[in-house]
């Protein structure tokens, strides 16, 4: 029941997060587009430009003022709640998915980091990320936007590397995303909104606005603009174990971020210059290169023969690391109540040639995977098969062979948190079976 409620809380918050996130990023994309497409030829007095557009069956005429209209309108629309709600729902989602059960998605499998320490590192990274960023922007470095950009990028790569040393791949990825998201919303709250308020106030009081504030706001909103594509990738990244599941996950993330920023730059500049027309093909080529270098041949633990793979598979007893934010004792008690995979070896191979036979693979999957991936999971953290993936019948296992390869052989994304203590030999065994065509007798 608890697992079921958590799933629905996850659903509701994730849905809200997506909706408000679309509203935020959508508005931001729209205004960048508007700015770039304004007709600036012979504008009316006091105007910077205007634009005609048709959408949803209506024709719109938008005008941008150089500074402000002679009289401020009664109803000036501000864009901020989209950002605030995106952050609030994002943090709630972080809590539901990662902090409620740190051993599942957050902590690196096999590490003895306690749930409390892991959460402290996670929250600490968001808070310190913002303060370091804000400090650097306000420092003399802020006057050199290109250098500042490079320093910020290097720091984020450092954060990705550091987090990947303590967190699971997806835990590290989502925290890099959350650091960037926090910086983005911090920019809205702390710099952009105050700058806009000061501007409006100065106009209302007939003063010349202080140019320093809008300049600061502009720098921050430019940063936000370049941050959007990397953050959007991180949001969808947990569908792609060849990225977060790789040993070099932090490097892959950095590569994708660079490509995303280049592509964003192309879209930002294409209205005014052609000098970045190479960026789009370069981005596509970069993604193809990344697909190639993350390919299974390079990340699999290859070289082991079937015979080696079929060697006796031994299990260590479940360690007393805390599961799901519980104390070690509670977790051990809970583990004792579950059908314990830790006790008996599943595949005692005698004939090496039978290394890639389905029987053993079947047993391994029953013990290591089906506690969660079943129509009726026995793991108490799930009330339904995660991602709808079930390994109850040989046919189901065979059908999912390519995904099993991606999740448990090419990468070690599954079993989640390696809660069921899958061994490298078992991964090789399954890999060998899939390589031979995933036959189920």
Site of interaction with ligand HEC (CB under 6 A) = 238-239, 368-369, 371-373, 379, 386-387, 389, 400, 403-404, 407-408, 414-416, 419-420, 422
User: Which residue number, 299 or 407, has a Cβ lying nearer to ligand HEC?
Assistant: 407
User: Which residue number, 68 or 389, has a Cβ lying nearer to ligand HEC?
Assistant: 389
Nearest to 244 by CA among 178, 166, 170: 170
CA 225, 226, 229, 231 dihedral sign is: negative
Nearest to 242 by CA among 361, 104, 405, 370: 405
Cβ–Cβ under 8 Å, residues 362 and 395? no
User: Which residue number, 83 or 172, has a Cβ lying nearer to ligand HEC?
Assistant: 172
Cβ atoms within 10 Å of 25's Cβ, excluding its own: 20
Distance CA 355, CA 358 (A): 9
Cβ–Cβ under 8 Å, residues 410 and 242? yes
CA dihedral 367, 369, 370, 371 (to 10 degrees): 80
Tokens of 74: 């009664």
Shortest distance, CB of residue 354 to ligand HEC, whole angstroms? 20
User: Which residue number, 119 or 371, has a Cβ lying nearer to ligand HEC?
Assistant: 371
Shortest distance, CB of residue 296 to ligand HEC, whole angstroms? 15
Q: Chain centroid to CA 86: how far?
A: 14
Shortest distance, CB of residue 119 to ligand HEC, whole angstroms? 19
Shortest distance, CB of residue 19 to ligand HEC, whole angstroms? 20
Nearest to 178 by CA among 102, 92, 64: 92
Q: What's the burial of 280, exposed, middle or buried (CB within 10 Å: 0-12/13-18/19+)?
A: middle
Cβ–Cβ under 8 Å, residues 413 and 169? yes
User: Which residue number, 21 or 341, has a Cβ lying nearer to ligand HEC?
Assistant: 341
Shortest distance, CB of residue 403 to ligand HEC, whole angstroms? 3
Shortest distance, CB of residue 129 to ligand HEC, whole angstroms? 24
Shortest distance, CB of residue 304 to ligand HEC, whole angstroms? 17
Tokens of 210: 């202080």
User: Which residue number, 281 or 402, has a Cβ lying nearer to ligand HEC?
Assistant: 402
User: Which residue number, 268 or 294, has a Cβ lying nearer to ligand HEC?
Assistant: 294
| Cβ burial 401-417 (10 Å sphere, 16+ → b, else e) | beebbbbbbbbbbbbbb
Distance CA 402, CA 438 (A): 9
- What number of CA atoms fall less than 13 Å from residue 431's CA on the CB side? 26
User: Which residue number, 96 or 419, has a Cβ lying nearer to ligand HEC?
Assistant: 419
Tokens of 91: 């943090």
Distance CA 426, CA 441 (A): 19
Tokens of 262: 């280049």
Cβ–Cβ under 8 Å, residues 161 and 169? no
User: Which residue number, 127 or 387, has a Cβ lying nearer to ligand HEC?
Assistant: 387
Shortest distance, CB of residue 3 to ligand HEC, whole angstroms? 10
Shortest distance, CB of residue 14 to ligand HEC, whole angstroms? 11
User: Which residue number, 223 or 373, has a Cβ lying nearer to ligand HEC?
Assistant: 373
Residue 105, sorted as left (phi over 0), alpha (psi -120 to 50) or beta, turns out to be alpha
Shortest distance, CB of residue 375 to ligand HEC, whole angstroms? 14
């Amino acid at each position: 029941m608890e697992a079921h409620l958590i799933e629905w809380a996850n659903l509701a918050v994730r849905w809200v997060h997506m909706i408000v996130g679309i509203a935020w990023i959508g508005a931001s994309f729209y205004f960048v587009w508007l700015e770039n497409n304004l007709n600036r030829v012979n504008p009316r007095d006091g105007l910077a430009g205007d634009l005609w557009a048709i959408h949803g069956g209506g024709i719109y005429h938008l005008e941008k003022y150089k500074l402000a209209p002679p009289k401020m309108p009664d109803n000036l629309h501000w864009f901020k709640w989209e950002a605030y709600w995106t952050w609030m729902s994002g943090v709630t989602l972080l809590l539901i998915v990662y902090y409620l059960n740190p051993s599942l998605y957050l902590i690196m499998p096999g590490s003895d980091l306690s749930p409390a320490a892991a959460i402290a590192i996670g929250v600490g990274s968001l808070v310190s990320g913002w303060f370091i960023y804000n400090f650097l922007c306000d420092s003399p470095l802020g006057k050199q936007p290109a250098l500042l950009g490079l320093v910020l990028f290097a720091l984020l790569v450092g954060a990705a590397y550091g987090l990947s040393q303590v967190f699971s791949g997806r835990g590290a990825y989502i925290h890099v995303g959350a650091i960037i998201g926090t910086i983005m919303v911090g920019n809205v709250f702390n710099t952009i909104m105050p700058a806009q308020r000061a501007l409006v106030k100065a106009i209302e009081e007939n003063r010349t606005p202080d140019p320093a504030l809008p300049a600061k706001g502009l720098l921050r909103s430019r940063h936000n603009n370049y941050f959007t594509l990397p953050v959007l990738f991180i949001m969808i990244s947990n569908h792609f174990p060849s990225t977060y599941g790789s040993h070099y996950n932090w490097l892959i993330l950095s590569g994708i971020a660079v490509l995303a920023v280049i592509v964003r730059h192309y879209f930002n500049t294409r209205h005014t210059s052609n000098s970045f027309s190479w960026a789009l093909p370069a981005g596509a080529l970069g993604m193809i290169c990344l697909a190639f270098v993350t390919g299974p041949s390079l990340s699999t633990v290859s070289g082991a023969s079937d015979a080696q793979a079929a060697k006796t598979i031994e299990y260590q007893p479940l360690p007393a690391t805390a599961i799901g934010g519980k104390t070690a004792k509670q977790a051990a008690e809970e583990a004792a109540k579950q059908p314990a995979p830790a006790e008996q070896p599943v595949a005692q191979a005698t004939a090496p040639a039978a290394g890639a036979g389905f029987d053993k693979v079947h047993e391994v999957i029953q013990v290591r995977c089906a506690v969660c991936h079943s129509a009726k999971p026995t793991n108490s953290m799930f009330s339904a098969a995660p991602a709808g993936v079930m390994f109850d019948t040989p046919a189901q296992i065979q059908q999912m062979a390519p995904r099993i390869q991606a999740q448990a052989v090419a990468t070690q994304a599954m079993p989640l948190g390696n809660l069921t203590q899958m061994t490298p030999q078992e991964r090789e065994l399954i890999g060998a079976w899939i390589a031979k065509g995933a036959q189920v007798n």
